[in-house]
Chains A and B, each alone.
Chain A
Amino acid sequence: MTTSITLNELYQRQITLLGEAAFEKIRNSRILIIGAGGLGCPALQYLSSSGVGVIGIVDFDIVSASNLQRQILFEINDIGRKKVEAAAEKLKKLAPFCNIQVFPFRLDATNSLEIFSTFDVILDCTDNFYTKFLIHDACFKTGKVLIQASVYQYEGQVQMFDFRERQGPCLRCLWPEEPLDGCTATCAEAGVMGPLLGVMGSIQAMEALKLITEKEHLNNGETLFVDLMSREFDVRRFKQKSDCPCCVKHECKVQEVLQVDWPVDLKEFVLVDVRSLEESDQCPLVEQFKKHYRVLQIPLDKIKDFVPPSDQKYLTICARGLRSLNACHYLRAQGLEVYSLRGGTNNILSMENL
């Protein structure tokens, strides 16, 4: 059936508005979407159905029931499947002319530069500061255009950074050091409305298409604020920071690997458990850790008060390995030898079958 449908039939409405030449630019574009979640799903649907030539999807996660309220590519039968696989399957039905590439693993400092190299535009649809800053710095380093969005309950923000000329202002002009995950609640903690993610992911897709077809779009140094409670859209502007570590001093390196994989000889380390005390208490591993190893309980929001001796080797841990990576990154900057346990205690529990 699809073989009888032509490109022109599928994209006629868009060609009417943009013209053949602009549509050709869309056909030749290569867009990477990082995070096939609340923002990623609508962005993926609109970009693939708009005729983008190559779409890459990076996500290590699997579909869970609590995703379906806002991650509209997935259905009940997808629960337990890898997000990239379920997403690619749906998108191929929607956009048979789009070349979908999947990267079913977590983006990190070792793989980001290589993955980014074959794409023109990178959409940050992730949900944590550590990954957002990693993507930002890697985009600056590889000279890509980054379109980034974040949400909280009824509100969202979008920023676009065109680094093709390696020029700012950049995200680090606003936040020279990334905020710690845990300084603000996640969607899981604070809750979020599905249609907000539809709006924000669609804005990311629209900005990408306008960039590719050379229309006006958000610029470096602008944040679009969207408030669906009060129905307000505002752009606020910021200037380049004269001593920005990224776009002025070019000192920002994509951080080297700080993660270690289980099994690890825990005797080598002082363990730093960065979960909240209530959360740690519910973890079946904590008792054993305390019995056999040196363990410090420093919740992530208290990590800045933590002044440890520098003659020890530390291993930060949490449930999934994200907050611990964030803490590890911060403690490294304080000059300590620190590693983060990849996958967190959830990974140990699944491997040890406890």
Chain B
Amino acid sequence: MKIKVRYFASLREKAGKSQEEMTIQTGKDLSDLYRALRLKYDFSLAENEIKYSVNNEYVEPNIPINENDVIVFIPPVAGG
């Protein structure tokens, strides 16, 4: 199924892009997806060190992914 993934802050910097569309197998949850992308892009933050948002709501990482979801990975940010 098709989904859209967006990267914020340090994750955007590391991935070298703000967003991408991808096709994934059904039955995956958000932390499965993040783990796979962490390996691909060498993100330093572990899956319990970021927040997850689907369609503009913050959600827990164990929720299943649905077709056309817009998924955002949100690292902690403190600059000022």
Q: Give the CA-CA distance A229 to B77 in the complex, in Å.
A: 17
Tell whether A187 pairs with B58 under 8 Å between CB atoms, given A153-B9, A227-B18, A230-B18.
Answer: no
Segment 299-314 of A: residues with Cβ below 8 Å from B? 301
Shortest beta-carbon distance from A174 to chain B in Å:
6
B20 interfacial by beta-carbon distance below 8 Å: no
> Which residue of chain B has its CB nearest to the CB of A127?
B80
B77/A155 in contact, CB under 8 A: yes
B27 located at the interface, meaning its Cβ lies under 8 Å from any Cβ of chain A in the complex? no
Q: Interface size of B by Cβ–Cβ distance < 8 Å?
A: 21
B58 with A184: CB separation less than 8 A: no
B56 touches A150 (CB 8 A): no
Q: In the complex, which of the residues A124, A179, A230, A236 contacts B53, with contact meaning CB atoms closer than 8 Å?
A: A236
A15, chain B: closest CB distance, angstroms: 32
Residue of A37, A152, A156 ringed by the most chain B CB atoms within 10 A: A152
Distance to closest chain B CB from A87 (angstroms): 15
> How many interface contacts (CB-CB < 8 Å) are there between A and B?
87
Docked pose: A229 CA to B72 CA in angstroms: 16
B51 touches A174 (CB 8 A): yes
| Residue in A127, A225, A238, A239 whose beta carbon sits within 8 Å of that of B79 in the complex | A127
Quick one: CB contact mask for A182-202 with B, threshold 8 Å, 1 for yes?
A: 011111001010000100000
Q: A181 — which chain B residues lie within 8 A by C-beta? A: 78
- Please determine whether B18 and A151 come into contact, CB atoms closer than 8 angstroms: no
Give CA–CA (A35, B77) in the complex, Å. Answer: 16
**Inter-chain contact B45/A236, CB cutoff 8 Å:** no
Contacts of B18 in A (CB 8 A): 227, 229-230
Q: Is A175 touching B76 in the complex (CB atoms < 8 A)?
A: yes
> How close is B38's CB to chain A, nearest CB, in angstroms?
14
Are A237 and B57 interface neighbours, CB within 8 A?
A: yes
Give Cα A113 to B40, complex, Å. Answer: 46
The 10 closest A-B pairs by CB, nearest first: A238-B58, A127-B80, A152-B9, A179-B76, A187-B79, A150-B77, A151-B79, A152-B77, A39-B80, A129-B78
Q: B residues bordering A, Cβ < 8 Å? A: 8-10, 12-13, 18, 44-45, 49, 51, 53, 56-58, 72, 75-80
